[in-house]
Amino acid sequence: MKNLRGFASDNNSGVHPDILNAMNRVNIGHTIGYGDDIYTNSALDKMKEIFGEDSDIYFVFTGTAANVLGLDTITQSYNSIICAETSHIHEDECGAPEKFTGCKLLALFTEDGKLTPEIVSKELYGFDFEHHSQPKVISITQSTEMGTVYTPQEIRDLSVIAHKYGMLLHMDGARIANAAAYLGLSFEKFSQDVGVDVLSFGGTKNGMIYGEALVFFDKKHSVNFKYIRKQGMQLASKMRFISAQFEEYLNNDLWLRNAQHSNKMAKLLASKLKDVPEIQITQKVESNGVFAIIPKEIIPILQDAYFFYVWDEKTSEVRWMCSFDTSEEDVINFTDLIKKILK
Ligand SMILES: Cc1ncc(COP(=O)(O)O)c(C=O)c1O
């Protein structure tokens, strides 16, 4: 591949230099392993400033682990988990949620990646009937895999319906920072305050090297989590290097600056293409992703210059993701190239 910069994924970008510096700063001497260290205590305190003393917070390595272990903790294998068809837990976790939880995933069609009470209500039946998997969790992604963002009210509507049926609401927040930047709200305002029970809080896609947090808003849901994390092979021995990243990420609004920037680059990309008749932007651009239907024949030429993924081969829909390090120059060069090829 000639040009290593591209719009394939926010996983493809590097690490913010402040994060690497923070890891370097804690790379001194010996400290107790497995999270019993001053850096981890300090990072957890920082997170508790956001989510409150009653929250229970744990670091893990990956977003998939946060989702899978979080869901495993709040379910039994006879349960089902309602999610969007486009959700990462359904599409991109290689069946790990099913393998580890034993639950049935009920993946539902949405226009824009967002579940609604109306959509989930199709699966709200069979309670107390031993022949039916018992619905236990509604899982939503914020921001969604389609680049859209739930409003706090939309999340509240889902938590109300979940709780009415004795279920819980899980949020996959792999890109929660992008949602917060878009909404102009702090994290708790559209999670804890509107009835989310368990949150996978991401960092990797927004400038960290690895490390995600799992936030339980009620300790009764996390009583066994420390065992589940260890059995799930996600207890980092050198935990201080995850903790140092979180501390830096949350300090000085690094998370916000990175997310505001990647969101802005996605908006710029979409705005540069909005008047190109051959291109149809298919989703609202509310976070750091742009979805568009483009002429099939130009895809390989563009991919050769700036790699990206085709989202839907049938419709020729592509996904362009922006990162904390996407530059205006990247966007302008890319959109100019598109216009040049289409001339
Ligand atoms: C919405 C969403 N959730 C979870 C994940 C999982 O993250 P990881 O690749 O760190 O397991 C991803 C990764 O792309 C994602 O896009």
Ligand 1 atom nearest the C-alpha of 204 is: 10
Are the folds of 17-253 and 257-342 the same? no
Mutate-to-test residue for ligand 1 from 172, 201, 319, highest number of ligand atoms within 8 A of CB: 172
Q: How far is the CA of 126 from the centre of ligand 1 (A)?
A: 31
Q: Which of 13, 92, 93 to mutate to test the pocket of ligand 1 (most atoms within 8 A of CB)?
A: 92
Lookup: tokens for 243:
């903790």
Minimal-distance CA residue to ligand 1 atom 7: 63
Residue 38 scores a pLDDT above 90 = yes
Separation of alpha carbons 316 and 333, rounded Å: 22
Task: Locate the ligand 1 atom nearest the alpha carbon of residue 64 and give its number.
Answer: 11
Burial label for 220, CB within 10 Å (0-12, 13-18, 19+), is exposed
Q: Is the pLDDT of residue 1 over 60?
A: no
Q: For a pocket test of ligand 1, which of 10, 114, 205, 323 has the largest count of ligand atoms closer than 8 A to its C-beta?
A: 205
- Give distance in angstroms: CA of 320 to centre of ligand 1: 16
Going from the Cα of 64 to the center of ligand 1, the distance in angstroms, rounded, reads 6
87 Cα to the center of ligand 1, angstroms: 10
Distance 341 CA to ligand 1 centre (A): 33
Give the strands of the sheet with 79-84, arranged side by side: 56-60, 212-216, 198-201, 168-173, 134-141, 79-84, 104-108
CA-wise closest residue to 308 among 279, 334, 274:
334
Q: Which atom of ligand 1 is nearest to the CA of 87?
A: 1
How large a percentage of the chain has pLDDT more than 70?
99
Angle value at C-alpha 72, between 160 and 169, nearest 5 degrees: 10
Atom 13 of ligand 1 has which residue's CA nearest to it? 63
* Per-residue pLDDT at 252: 85
CA of 334 to the centre of ligand 1 (A): 25
pLDDT in tens, 227-237: 999 999 999 99
Residue nearest to atom 9 of ligand 1 (CA): 63
* Residues paired with 280 in a beta bridge: 293
257-279 tens-digit pLDDT: 999 999 999 999 999 999 999 99
The pLDDT score that the predictor gives to residue 125 is 98
Domain range annotation of the chain: 17-253, 257-342
| Residue 144 CA, ligand 1 centroid: distance in Å | 11
Longest distance between any two alpha carbons in the chain, whole Å: 62
Report, as an integer, the average pLDDT of 85-91.
98
**Rounded CA separation 143/200 (Å):** 12
- Those residues with Cβ within 8 angstroms of residue 43's Cβ, 6 or more apart along the chain or in another chain: 59, 242, 243, 244, 246, 247, 250
Which residues line ligand 1 at a C-beta cut-off of 6 Å? 11, 62-64, 67, 88, 141, 145, 172, 174, 204
Q: Tokens standing for 297?
A: 């024949």
**Residue 2 has what pLDDT?**
58
* Distance in Å, CA 9 to ligand 1 centroid: 11
CB 69 within 8 A of CB 234: yes
Residues 6+ apart with CB under 8 A from 259: 175, 177, 178, 180, 181, 206, 288, 324
Which tens digit of pLDDT belongs to each residue from 40-57? 999 999 999 999 999 999
Minimal-distance CA residue to ligand 1 atom 8:
63
What was the pLDDT predicted at 148?
A: 98
Q: What is the third-level CATH fold of 17-253?
A: Aspartate Aminotransferase; domain 2 (3.40.640)
Say which CATH architecture domain 257-342 belongs to. Alpha-Beta Complex (3.90)
Nearest residue to 159 via CA among 117, 199, 124, 123 = 117
Q: What is the mean pLDDT of residues 106-128?
A: 98
Task: Kindly state the percentage of the chain with pLDDT values over 90.
Answer: 98
Both tokens of residue 221?
């849901």
